[in-house]
Each structure stands twice: as structure tokens, then as C-alpha cells.
A and B are shown apart, each in its own frame.
Chain A
Amino acid sequence: SYVLTQPPSVSVAPGKTARITCGGNNIGSKSVHWYRQKPGQAPVVVIFYDTDRPSGIPERLSGSNSGNTATLTINSVEAGDEADYYCQVWAGGSDHWVFGGGTKLTVL
């Protein structure tokens, strides 16, 4: 089965850059979507199709995907960015849709 691996936690000071990785076998050949989830709320798409941002998501958030790693980058981190972030791919076959385990972003 296809597995996506994320670090359980990432900590960053306000104003710095946070990078959240999502590892998977040849993930660069798949389209990666990223979700942000705040406590008690449903997830929200922040990046889709590797690099695209939905309307309302600031340019500070960006995505990349190559080889075995996809990355969500958040520049000039703010307190409001503190949340859980999940990557997702369509793995195909019997796996269908797969989520990463999630990364808790803490703003110091």
C-alpha cells in the first residue's frame, strides 16, 4: 500500500519560514494536495495540484513536489498559521486516496 510520511511536528518562530515535508515513493509523479486543520474545525485546502492556491489563501503559502518528497512552505509565519497540516494524493489501485499522518505546526 502507498504510504505518505510527514514529520509529527514542526516548530518555527514568527516571521521565519516553515517547511513541512511529505514523503512517498515517487510522489513527484502524483498530484499532491495540502490541507490545514485548526482545532474543532474541518480541514481546508491550502494547496492543490502540487503548487496551486485556492482563492483566499495567501501567497506566503506555496507547494513543491519532486522525486520522493513534496513540501509545503509557509513564509513569514504568523500565529494564525498554527494548525495541523495534511498532505494527500490519489495513489490509485486499491489504495485510492491516501493522507499523510499530519504535521502539527507550532509557532513559538
Chain B
Amino acid sequence: QVQLVQSGAEVKKPGASVKVSCRVSEYSLSQLSMHWVRQAPGKGLEWVGGYDLESGNTVYAQKFQGRVTMTEDTPTDTAHMEVSSLRPEDTAVYYCVAEGTRGTREFDYWGQGTLVTVSS
């Protein structure tokens, strides 16, 4: 059973950057297709970016392009997501997510979420 454990809550000022980590256990990161999804307070789920099966690359939702960078450190089985130029509207819980291993691409495994608060 894949387990995803994320880093702790962060408080940042507008214009700053934040890096959230997600450690994979009971599986190898290199064998998983990873994504990041965020949820603003009281709002719905929003895909931020992740692995694109067609290209084999990491891709980002259009609204985040240029501000979000996703990386993977396979020796430590840890995925990272960095968001730069933070704005108050980036305040949200950020989830790392792994697709299931059935090949049907549902988001089967979720981290516990990391609350990022952007406030002056």
C-alpha cells in the first residue's frame, strides 16, 4: 500500500516562495505517476500539475505555469513542489497524489495535505 507523507504547514508572505515535500513509502517513487492538487478553504479540488503519460514529462495547469516547479528525488523517494511569487489566493491545502497501479489513472493515493497560508 503506497503511503505519502507530506511536510508540515507553512506561513509565507506575499511574494515569497514555498517548497512542499512528499515522501513515498511502501513503494518506489520512480514507479509512480505523481501529481499535486490544491484546495482553497471551503473550495473544491484543483489540479496543479503532475506527470503526463503522453509526453513522459511533468506538466502544469495553465494558471500555474511559470510559478510552480515539481521535482522528484528518486534516491530518497521524495517529491517536491515549489510555488514562487505567492499571493494570498494561493492559500490552500496542497495534496501530493499518486495514480493507482491499475493503469486506469485514478488518483488513488493522497498525502495528508499541507496547509500553505499566504498573509502579510
Q: Taking beta carbons and an 8 Å cutoff, which residues of A are in contact with B?
A: 1, 31, 33, 35, 37, 42-45, 48-49, 52, 54, 84, 86, 88, 90, 94, 96-102
Contacts and interface: CB of A to CB of B under 8 A. Distances in A.
B47 A96 contact: yes
A20 to B, nearest CB: 14
How extensive is the interface on chain B, given as a class? 20 to 34
Nearest to A44: B110
Contacts of A101: 44
Nearest to B35: A97
A47 to B, nearest CB: 9
Contact of B61 (A43, A44, A96): A96
Closest 6 CB pairs of A and B: A48-B106, A42-B110, A97-B47, A102-B44, A33-B106, A49-B104
Given A42-B112, A42-B113, A97-B35, A102 B45 contact: yes
B18 to A, nearest CB: 19
B106 A99 contact: no
Interface string B87-120: 0000000010000101011111011110000000
Contacts of B95: 42-43
Contact of A99 (B46, B100, B108): B46
A49 B47 CA distance: 18
A101 B46 CA distance: 9
Interface string B48-73: 01101000000101100000000000
